[in-house]
Structure 1
Amino acid sequence: MAFVYDLCVVGAGMTGAAAAREASIIDNYKVCLVGPAEPKVRKVNTGKEVFGAHYDEARIASSTSSKVPVWGILAERSIRRYSELEHLSGVHFYDSVGSLTVGTRNSEYLNKVEKQANSQGYAHSMDILDSQQLRRKYPFFNFSSEDQGIAEENTAGIINPRKMVMAQISVASKNGCDVIRETVTGIVRQPDGNSRVVTENGRLIMTRKVLLATNVFTEIHNLLGDIRPLYVPMPQTVTLAEISPQDATRLRNMPSLKYRGYGEPSWPSDYLRNNNDQIDFYMLPPVRYPDGKYYIKLGHSDDILKGPLQVSEMQKWYCGEGDKALEEQMFRLLQRLLPGVTFLSHHGDACITMVTPNSQPYVDLVTPTVGVVMGDNGWAAKSSDEIGRIAARMIVQSDWSYDLPKHMFKLYTNVTGPPPASKL
């Protein structure tokens, strides 16, 4: 008789690995995590179909969120457990360098950030800084005299998504979770109620329950059959600007940065602006990448995304360096933002975000034995530990027991239709 797992998590990225670790804690509950490892070289002609958004060295870890409050809650709960995960795994992935949110003084953006912090109980860890205080505390930044900042220092910082996935998988493996480094190409419901998971190499995995953490790649092999999650696959471009080791040391106290405002007069006037005619970007402090070089990363806002991508275009996009013209614009902005830094080189990198209709994550049951955890919306990295935790408990129990309302995580599909306007 074939061995049957209690749960098969399909997708070994940030939320999938977190869900597998959480489920692996349960005594006598057999879990497997299935998903390909990161390729050593990203090229179209290698036959690689599925890629991970965690193929990177730095993401912002901060509880501030002005658009959708749930992301701030999920981030705060995840950040709380980073040190425990590092201790259990022996993998260091988190640096508490702080986070800085900057915008035009008294703007709706900053007011929302501050209001959310107060409502969720972490405003005590933040400092409000006027333009002069910003200059004194962060002399390397070139902000406008009209700008104001919110500094989050106690727990905010940056995470290494590659190493965070390593940490989750390490702990899951120690707990008895089997890790299978292959791509899933099919899921077939069996007469006895179990599911047969089929991989690219013909491996057959029998399991009682399945959790899909496959994000934008769910449709490549129709893993949900005729059900199509509602989302937009949006292409992301970042610029990676190289600096010297000496500059990296000098800037070692630089926080991560989120900016939305009218900018400093010396910033490029032709930089693409959001729907409110504002400059909107995020930036990561210097990080050493696998090539041994130090890079500062800057990325754009959702309002200037150039998409959506078709499923057939995803492989090529992941194997490229993003939109070259946009990358050049972001690099020029970075030069003006950090005028005292000498950049040695720059290049682009590409990723894809799964943007849901209500900008909230999908954590839901399709059937009592098949669940999904997807919909990163570009904000899931820092929150992935909590999202995986929610998903694992949901699929194990075949029910919802989380303290936030179920409708906030509902999966909208071609069958259910989009969410009501009141929830957008």
Structure 2
Amino acid sequence: MAFIYDLCVVGAGMTGSAAAREASLTPYFKVCLVGPPEPKVRKITTGKEVFGAHYDEARIASTLTSKHAVWGVLAQRSINRYSELEKMSGVHFYETVGSLTVGTRISQYMNQTKNNAKNQGILFNMEVLNNCQMKNKFPYFNFSSEDQGVMEENAGIINPRKMVMAQISVASKNGCDVIRETVTNIFRQPDGHSRIKTETGRLIIARKVLLATNVFTELHNLLGNIRPLYVPMPQTVTLAEISPADAIRLRNMPCVKYNGTGGQSWPSDYPRDNDQHIGFYMLPPVRYPDGKYYIKLGHADAILKGPLKVSEIQKWYCGEGDRLLEEQMFNLLKGVLPEINFLSHHGDACVTMVTPNSRPYIDLVNPTTGVVIGDNGWSAKSSDEIGRIAAQMMIQANWSYDLPKDLFKLYTNLTGPPSQSKL
């Protein structure tokens, strides 16, 4: 008789690994996590079908948000558990460097950011800085005289590769089987169990299945005729190399999130949103696997160039993003940090799954199949809590979380788009 898992988590990225780790804590509940490892080389010619958004060394971990307040809650709860996860796994993936949210004074962006902080009860942990105060504290930044900042000291940087490593390590210690293959087919049997087939022909049988497959969910029609409503949007970042000496000089540099009219000397041709604002995020120097130090800058959602077709996603992951946009971002970076001598720069690419209500999908498709997808570009820092919610949903077969279920409802071609929600 074939072995039957209680839960099979498909997708071994940040959220899937977190869900597997959480589920593995349940006594007498057998879990497996299925997903390919990161390829040594990202090329279509290698035959790899699935890629992950966690193929990176640095992401911002901040509870401050100008977006939907639920993202701040998810981030806060995740960040509060980072140290515990590091201790359990023995893998260090988080550095507290602080995060500076900057924008034009008395703007909707800054007002929303401060209001969300107040509603989350974290405003007392923040320091509001005018332009002069920012200049004194961070003399290397070149912001507008009209800008102000909110400094979050407890924020920092996660290494997503190592975070996934930590989650998988703890899950394995708890008895979770990790299968490093790509799932190509899921068939629900008459008895309610699912037959999960991988690229090598391996057959896995599970009572329940949780899909953490994000933009690759439709690659092999893992949900059958059900199509989640989302838009696969291409992301481009610039990675600008600096010297070890400059990395030391910028050792107290925080992460930055910006939305405003921009500095007077910033490039005039950088793409702006409908309000003529520039938006970007930036991380301080991080040493990458090639031994070099890079400052990473990414663009705001307002200038996304997309969407991508499902058939285009693999090719995009194997490239360096939009070359023109990457050059524009590098020129912007030089305007923001005018005193830094950049040695080189190159682009990198990934894809975000943007849902209609800009929140993650955490929902049951049927009594034994669930999804935890829809990163919206903000899930890295919140992945531990998102995975925890999904695992509890699958184990309990109902919703017991303290936030409303409808916030995370899956909308598909069969259900139609969501109505507007307040949170």
TM bracket (short chain): over 0.9
Q: Corresponding residue for 2:396?
A: 397
Compute the RMSD of aligned alpha carbons: 0.8
Q: Give the aligned residue type for 1:143.
A: F
Q: Corresponding residue for 1:231?
A: 230
SS in structure 2 of the partner of residue 317 of structure 1? helix
Distance 2:275 2:50 in 1: 35
Q: Corresponding residue for 1:359?
A: 358
Q: Give the aligned residue type for 2:52.
A: G
Does 2:130 match 1:130? yes
Query: TM-score with structure 1 length normalisation?
Result: 0.99
Q: Corresponding residue for 1:37?
A: 37
Q: Is the 8 A contact 1:24 1:172 kept in 2?
A: yes
1:204-223 mapped onto 2 (5 Å cutoff): 204-223=203-222
SS in structure 1 of the partner of residue 388 of structure 2? helix
Distance 1:105 1:66 in 2: 14
Does 2:70 match 1:70? yes
Distance 2:145 2:214 in 1: 41
Deviation at 1:31, TM superposition (A): 0.3
Distance 1:193 1:132 in 2: 64
CA offsets, 1:165-193, max 9 Å, x none? 00000000000000000000000111221
Q: Give the aligned residue type for 2:4.
A: V
SS in structure 1 of the partner of residue 238 of structure 2? strand
Does 2:162 match 1:163? yes
1:331-410 mapped onto 2 (5 Å cutoff): 331-410=330-409
Distance 1:74 1:21 in 2: 17
1:256-267 mapped onto 2 (5 Å cutoff): 256-267=255-266
Deviation at 1:418, TM superposition (A): 0.2
Structure 2: 5+ residue stretches without partners:
none
SS in structure 2 of the partner of residue 162 of structure 1? helix
Q: Corresponding residue for 1:26?
A: 26
1:211-360 mapped onto 2 (5 Å cutoff): 211-360=210-359
CA offsets, 1:213-236, max 9 Å, x none? 000000000000000000000000
Deviation at 1:423, TM superposition (A): 6.0
Sort the Cα spacing of 1:422 and 1:167 in 2 relative to 1 into closer, same or farther, 3 A.
closer
Distance 1:366 1:27 in 2: 25
SS in structure 1 of the partner of residue 279 of structure 2? strand
CA offsets, 1:225-258, max 9 Å, x none? 0000000000000000000111111111110000
CA offsets, 1:286-342, max 9 Å, x none? 000011100000000111000000011011100000000000000000001001111
Distance 2:161 2:324 in 1: 28
CA offsets, 1:74-107, max 9 Å, x none? 0000000000000000000000000000001111
Q: Give the aligned residue type for 1:13.
A: G
SS in structure 1 of the partner of residue 382 of structure 2? helix
1:10-159 mapped onto 2 (5 Å cutoff): 10-153=10-153, 155-159=154-158
Q: How many residues align?
A: 423
Q: Give the aligned residue type for 2:10.
A: V
SS in structure 1 of the partner of residue 167 of structure 2? helix
Distance 1:230 1:297 in 2: 30
Structure 1: 5+ residue stretches without partners:
none
Distance 1:146 1:220 in 2: 47
Distance 1:223 1:183 in 2: 12
Distance 1:409 1:276 in 2: 30
Sort the Cα spacing of 1:264 and 1:410 in 2 relative to 1 into closer, same or farther, 3 A.
same
CA offsets, 1:7-64, max 9 Å, x none? 0000000000000000000111100000000000001111111000000000000001
Distance 1:420 1:179 in 2: 38
Deviation at 1:149, TM superposition (A): 0.2
Deviation at 1:275, TM superposition (A): 2.1
SS in structure 2 of the partner of residue 380 of structure 1? coil
Distance 1:328 1:317 in 2: 17
* Identical columns (%): 76
Distance 1:333 1:288 in 2: 21
Sort the Cα spacing of 1:422 and 1:152 in 2 relative to 1 into closer, same or farther, 3 A.
closer
Q: Corresponding residue for 1:177?
A: 176
CA offsets, 1:387-412, max 9 Å, x none? 00000000111100000000000000
Q: Is the 8 A contact 2:407 2:421 kept in 1?
A: no
Distance 1:26 1:422 in 2: 33
1:183-194 mapped onto 2 (5 Å cutoff): 183-194=182-193
SS in structure 1 of the partner of residue 380 of structure 2? helix
Q: Give the aligned residue type for 1:86.
A: E
Q: Is the 8 A contact 1:235 1:350 kept in 2?
A: yes
SS in structure 1 of the partner of residue 264 of structure 2? coil
Deviation at 1:66, TM superposition (A): 1.0
Distance 1:59 1:366 in 2: 31
SS in structure 2 of the partner of residue 150 of structure 1? strand
SS in structure 1 of the partner of residue 295 of structure 2? strand
Distance 1:228 1:88 in 2: 37
Deviation at 1:421, TM superposition (A): 4.0
Distance 1:172 1:251 in 2: 36
Distance 1:52 1:423 in 2: 31
Distance 2:257 2:106 in 1: 16
Distance 1:423 1:135 in 2: 37
Q: Is the 8 A contact 1:358 1:423 kept in 2?
A: no
Distance 1:175 1:67 in 2: 36
Distance 1:116 1:43 in 2: 41
